[in-house]
Amino acid sequence: MNSPSRRVRRALHHRALRHRATLVVGGAAVLAVAGGALTIGTQPAIGEALGMPTGTASASATAQPALHGTALDRAQAAATISTAKTVLATANDKTDTASLEQHVDALSDYPELSGAALTTRISSTVESTAHVAQASATQDKRDVDAKAAAAAKAAAEQRRAVAAAEAARALAAGNTVAGAKATATSLASSEYGWGADQFQCLDNLWTKESGWDYQAVNANGGATGIPQALPGSKMATIGSDWRTNATTQIKWGLQYISAAYGTPCSAWAHSQANNFY
């Protein structure tokens, strides 16, 4: 029943989605009246379905005739069909409604039915209506949860993409000569307490060695990177990205200078005297 008319009805009855269970249970409660009688004035839709006059909320409603026996059963059938059609019209598209549609079709003959056959068809239709309403509500929740999960996943992926892009920009900036010198200045001061005089010696040293180029490789011996580590793989003790990250190379180079010479100026003096450090 996924026809255009059903889709229109579904849109009009969107708010009814929250009340499917109430429709079924409420309908049963209204029909199961004490004493086996139902006043038509309390259910105008039923009266209309049976072609009988209906009452109003005024005192005249109490004058309406009561239904008994087969007439009451048929009124119940009409109300059951009405409730079932509302549930069908508002059911989630993924819900299987074929069985309920068959029950409604079978109950549609209620004007010609009576007794046990009518009671059985009403009961089976009510049961099927409740099943479809519950299944549809469950699917609605699954759809909402799936949509929320997809939105959360998309948001997380977006955050990761933004973070990755920012990391790439930071890496590219840090790999420039100016960026590498800024990183070295900061680390020399914060990690080793070396001031501007020592940085000047470091600048002289690494300008001579590599020109502050993180991709520099000495063709004669294979010394690599800004500090010209030999072999370059020594810098892996700081990070696996030593081939592509100037900051990793600088951290290793400062650590090497501190351990081998004490200060950049001592390393620079050695370089001037021996052409290596």
Question: What's residue 7's pLDDT?
Answer: 43
SS3 sequence of the chain:
CCCHHHHHHHHHCHHHHHHHHHHHHHHHHHHCCHHHCEEHHHCHHHHHHHCCCCCCCCHHHHHCCEECHHHHHHHHHHHHHHHHHHHHHHCCCCCCCHHHHHHHHHHCCHHHCCHHHHHHHHHHHHHHHHHHHHHHHHHHHHHHHHHHHHHHHHHHHHHHHHHHHHHHHHHHHHCCHHHHHHHHHHHHHHHHCCCHHHHHHHHHHHHHHCCCCCCCECCCCCCECCCCECCHHHHHHCCCCCCCCHHHHHHHHHHHHHHHCCCHHHHHHHHHHHCCC
- pLDDT, mean of residues 118-140: 97
Weakest-pLDDT range from 41-50, 84-93, 104-113 = 41-50
Residue 54 pLDDT exceeds 60: no
Instruction: Identify the pLDDT of residue 37.
Output: 32
Q: What is the pLDDT of residue 10?
A: 46
Share of residues in the chain with pLDDT > 70 (%):
77
Write down the pLDDT at residue 65: 55
- Give the tens place of pLDDT for each residue, 156-205: 999 999 999 999 999 999 999 999 999 999 999 999 999 999 999 999 99
Q: Which residue has the higher pLDDT, 258 or 32?
A: 258
Check pLDDT > 70 for residue 5. Answer: no
- When pLDDT is averaged across residues 59-86 and rounded to a whole number, the result is 81
- Does residue 272 register a pLDDT over 50? yes
The average pLDDT across 87-106 equals 97
pTM of the model: 0.59
pLDDT at 30: 34
Per-residue pLDDT reduced to its tens digit, 13-24: 443 333 333 333
